[in-house]
Amino acid sequence: MSKDGKHLRVYLKGAPERVVTRCSKILIDNQEKAFDEKFRKEVQQANDDFGKLGERVLAFAYRDLDASKFPAGYQFDMRNWKEWGKAYERSYSEYENQEGTFPMHDLTLIGVVSLNDPPRPKVDLSVEKCRQAGIKVIMVTGDQPPTAAAIANKVNIIKHPQKEFNNMIARGVDEDTAMAESTGIVIHGDKLAKCHLEDEEKYEDGHP
């Protein structure tokens, strides 16, 4: 229920890169304002700064529902929401007239919160023992790339942060040189999925 008690309200929390793309407004001094490029850059900078510290970051958003369209007994379709709500960059107007739907886009960003969840003690020593035994250690995590890189550095998986591929690219090193000289790389799962899909399409087209 909304603050005035007259409207139902949708809340969303999750990874910033997932939540932010669904927002068209931002809450500033308790006032909803257009989520323009200036505010987007500020939010992204805060997200990056927290991530580089190894903090886990969550974003929060909401939207008040029109009481005339969403009365107290409205039947929300929780089973099929992915059909209209899964894609990140859409507008609520594209599906607002479908029965059972509710807004998963054009939300208002409340802000981001960072959580300190340090690695378990002596993980770095375990990683070093694996490396000495000739075992290549790969970390798979649900954290966003800056956080993943910071944690990997803390536990000895990435021993030279300045030689991490994305770090080198950010400093202006060309991709070929960075790939040849980097000693670690952080890859977002979406990019891996995209590459996998492209490979599948090549095989289907008869181009192994």
Convert the pLDDT of each residue in 90-110 to its tens digit. Answer: 999 999 999 999 999 999 999
Model confidence band, residue 141 (pLDDT cutoffs 50, 70, 90): confident
The better pLDDT of the pair 75, 194 is held by: 75
Model confidence band, residue 143 (pLDDT cutoffs 50, 70, 90): confident
- Would 4 be classed as within a structural domain? no
DSSP string over 85-135: HSSSS--GGGTTTSTT---SSSEEEEEEEEE--PPPTTHHHHHHHHHHTTP
Strand 56-64, strand 107-115: pairing: antiparallel
pLDDT tens by residue, 24-79: 999 999 999 999 999 999 999 999 899 888 888 999 999 999 998 998 889 999 99
For residues 95 and 135, state if they share a domain: no
pLDDT value at position 195? 82
Positive or negative CA dihedral for 191, 196, 201, 203? Answer: positive
For residues 76 and 17, state if they share a domain: yes
For residues 130 and 76, state if they share a domain: no
For residues 20 and 104, state if they share a domain: yes
For residues 149 and 77, state if they share a domain: no
CB 35 within 8 A of CB 109: yes
Rounded-to-integer distance, Cα 150 and Cα 106, Å: 32
Q: What's the structural domain count of the chain?
A: 2
Model confidence band, residue 20 (pLDDT cutoffs 50, 70, 90): very high
- Domain's final residue, options 115, 142, 162: 115
Task: Please say if the pLDDT value at position 4 is more than 70.
Answer: no
Percent above pLDDT 90 for the chain: 56
Domain membership of residue 182 as a residue range: 123-204
Which two three-digit tokens encode residue 19?
């939540």
For residues 145 and 71, state if they share a domain: no
